[in-house]
A and B are shown apart, each in its own frame.
Chain A
Amino acid sequence: MKTMSFAGAIEDALMKAMSEDPRIVVFGEDVHSIRMNLFAKFGEMRVRSTPISESAFLGAAVTASMAGLRPVVELLMIDFVAVGVDALVNHAAKLEGFSGGRWKAPMVVRASCGGGYGDGGQHEQSLWGWLAQIPGLKVVVPSNPADAGGLMLSAIQDEGPVIYLEHKLLADYWIDGLADGGRTNLDYDIPEAGARGEVPRTWEPIPIGEAKVLRDGNDLTMVSVGVSVHRCLEAATQLAEHGVQAGVIDLRSIAPLDTDAVCRAVERTGRLLVVDEDYKHFSLSGELAAVVMEAGITAQFARVCVEDTIPFDRRREAEALPNVARILEAASGLRA
């Protein structure tokens, strides 16, 4: 087994894919420096920096993919998708439907997401629920290096649009560039197992839409994604010390959603706790409650999510994001 950083795994998988498939191109703002290694290896025609024109280059990615390329188009932060979201919502997502299945847009939108380093509510959102709501868009959110590499391969190979989100707390270069800036006097709650870990000797695609059970437990099922998965694992360890066996499921992809994995577990435990760094209302967490009800499963339900604009102040930010204390509190509510 090899170990890699989260960011290193993504780059390694992407580099391998690009070496094997000349149709794969990377473009977005500043990719010549953010993806310097790819730029050095594949040259400017395949790794190309764009103007700050999200609506133009996201829209261009859609038709470039329709015409035979495999674009991995980069938004520095998923928050900025708002500027160009028309390309995804009204075009990439609709193509397969509108063309009667005759045409698809095999593109990947890669962006950082998430908070925990004090950058304020316009640069720390998750927004995966917002995007996953649109039929025709897939959304993946890896929580560790092995999944990060495998899901990147799948995203590239997928015949339709996939939004690939990398959490900034897991990717060292984002923390270095956006949070520390060379400083060493600040702390972040970075989950070690997410930021670095074992990866397979050779990359294999990980099917999109398959959740992973990270921990079994008969008392309670925690379902989560991204960095919050690690918060759940920590909470589950603490719950076990108090005799509560909590299972943890890492969804890995929001759309398609692995409803079977969730229902199987909740059927057994009768308790579902969703921990989601995205917004609470009209969301992934609400969707999971609906999924369980639709399956006819009787279960208690609770959720730990972001409920409002994320505060800039790091202290209030830490309370606003899912954390172990909030998870434990929600879990204790379920047991009562």
Chain B
Amino acid sequence: MQPSAEVLYRQMYKSRRFEEAVTELWNDGHISAEMHLSKGEEAIVAGVVDHVTDGDALALEHRGTAPLVMRGVDLALLIKEFMGLEDGLCRGMGGHMHLFSPEHLAASSGIVGASGPAACGFAFAAQHLRPGKVAVAFFGEGAMNQGMLMESMNLASAWSLPVIFVCKDNGMAITTPSNEVTGGDLLKRARGLGAHAISLDGTDVNEVWRAAREAFVRAREGGGPTFLHATCVHPDGHLLGDPLLRIVRKPVRELKSRVAPLMKAATTGGSSLSEKAASLGSIVDMLGRASKADRQGASDPVEQQRPQLSISDAQRADLEREVDAEVQDAVAAALRSKEARG
């Protein structure tokens, strides 16, 4: 039975607030290097993870935060991991791209496409050791062009493995529009490899939940893999401090050092005028797309779920306060731990 709207809302709200807190910590320099958020993907993750029970496995990529938050991993453990502290989820050894939780059979990789084979292995182990259990692979549409992921779909079909392949399609891989480097149609591709395949609006958690239910039932009953293709938007770009978004948000500052060499390159020598004009055109397009996505905002999956709630505004405010407090406690615990470390 579908859980109440509040349950899914709470999951998405929690993930969102958690990642907002992470963003602040990152801005303040508590977290080093790259940080890829799941922001914008909450409905996909919530709609899928709601079906996950103990013994099911999660194969995660560089946006593994939301699945683990929604799976119930301790928030303070996650933040401490992001901060590289010894008492983090993985003792500060992995960071946000390499999150592991053996209790949840959850393993991440920063290698694009690696969640495909990972899910197959988890699913094969389930066939042997945990009949009825499944493995979920999360990945972006860019990863669909990675050989190992396509191979995994075939392997899962050939062996009838209980895998749910979840493609979170935001249309972009770092700065490359995926439609410019992808041949054919992703649904047909998955079907060609023998998976059941379905397309959905990844900002609608209820739609995702219903499609995921079918996929989980099929997998648990031995019916083989399903490919869920869900669209979404990443409002903060590829990673925090996304260079394209920085240009779009602070053009004068960010473009100052870039424009002169670019113009020099474009106006001297090289290829024909028309080819150079095409290049400049596509650079402008790239910035235009980033700017448009930034200005418009997206159909926000968290906000979209609000009208579905059957609780009063006051009850919703209570729910949100409770989650906010949980997030704040986790941040405070992590900062205390960092301070104690000296």
Please give the residue numbers on chain A whose beta carbons come within 8 Å of chain B beta carbons, in ascending order: 15, 18-19, 29-30, 32-34, 36-47, 49-56, 79-80, 82-83, 117-123, 176-183, 185-186, 309, 311-316
Contact = CB atoms under 8 A, between A and B. Distances in A.
A51 B266 CA distance: 25
A51 B181 contact: yes
Contacts, number: 177
B98 A40 contact: no
Interface string B141-170: 011011110000000000000000000000
A120 B97 contact: yes
B147 A36 contact: no
A87 B144 CA distance: 20
Interface residues of B, number: 62
B280 A40 contact: yes
A19 B269 contact: yes
Nearest to B147: A55
B276 A51 contact: no
B261 to A, nearest CB: 5
Contacts of B320: none
Contact of B240 (A29, A30, A181): A181
Contacts of A50: 181
B100 to A, nearest CB: 12
Given A41-B269, A44-B275, A119-B95, A52 B173 contact: yes
A182 B176 CA distance: 21
Nearest to B177: A49
Contact of B92 (A34, A185, A312): A312
A37 B147 contact: no
Nearest to B85: A313
A50 B178 CA distance: 10
B92 A117 contact: no
Nearest to B254: A182
A83 B146 contact: yes
B272 A43 contact: yes
B176 A29 contact: yes
B109 A122 contact: yes
A185 to B, nearest CB: 4
B176 A30 contact: yes
B332 interface: no
Contacts of A46: 271
B266 A41 contact: yes
B167 to A, nearest CB: 13
Contacts of A122: 97-98, 109-111
Contact of B261 (A37, A52, A316): A37
A221 B275 CA distance: 52
Interface string B268-281: 11111001101110
A80 B112 CA distance: 9
Q: Which of A33, A44, A54 has the most CB of B within 10 A?
A: A33
Contact of A19 (B94, B146, B175, B270): B270
Contacts of A18: 270
Given A39-B279, A178-B33, 19 more contacts: A30-B173, A33-B244, A40-B279, A41-B266, A41-B271, A44-B282, A47-B279, A53-B146, A56-B147, A82-B111, A83-B146, A83-B147, A117-B33, A120-B94, A122-B98, A123-B34, A181-B34, A311-B92, A314-B84
Contact of A52 (B95, B146, B243, B268): B146
Contacts of A186: 29, 32
A184 to B, nearest CB: 9
B95 A51 contact: no
A49 B176 contact: yes
A43 B110 contact: no
Nearest to B249: A182
A55 B174 CA distance: 19
A307 B222 CA distance: 44
The 10 closest A-B pairs by CB, nearest first: A181-B241, A118-B32, A43-B275, A313-B84, A312-B95, A51-B145, A41-B270, A185-B29, A313-B92, A51-B181
A44 B279 contact: yes
A292 B175 CA distance: 47
Candidate in A18, A36, A117 with the most chain B CB atoms within 10 angstroms? A36
A43 B278 contact: yes
B97 A177 contact: no
A176 B243 contact: yes
A52 B112 contact: yes
A312 B93 CA distance: 5
B313 interface: no
B269 A83 contact: no
